[in-house]
Structure 1
């Protein structure tokens, strides 16, 4: 049985250190706690202009 490689990653926002098993996850890393905070913040911000609303777009 081959051991899986593990990578230590540090959250770009809070500096929390975690272990991941994929080098793909070892790039820009945001921990699940910060990610949930980010999603909640994005969910409660005003929406961008909707081009299908009939209002002329700004240039």
Structure 2
């Protein structure tokens, strides 16, 4: 399985023992479109994608007291 972001990033990861769940070694970047490509035995390569959410706005320091 390969994961590639439109920012050029390629986060690494690993599968569980059953090879049914992949876990990234890195936190995905905000506002990035990722494409996942997986080779399926006897069925060729399948692709899917997702986009991480961008932050709602700037955040500087702690929130003011209420």
TM-score higher than 0.5 here? Answer: no
Q: Which has the higher contact order (CA 8 A, sep 6+)?
A: 2
Q: Which has the higher Rg, Structure 1 or Structure 2?
A: 1
TM-score scaled to structure 1, two decimals?
0.24
Larger helix percent: 1
Q: Which has the higher strand share?
A: 2
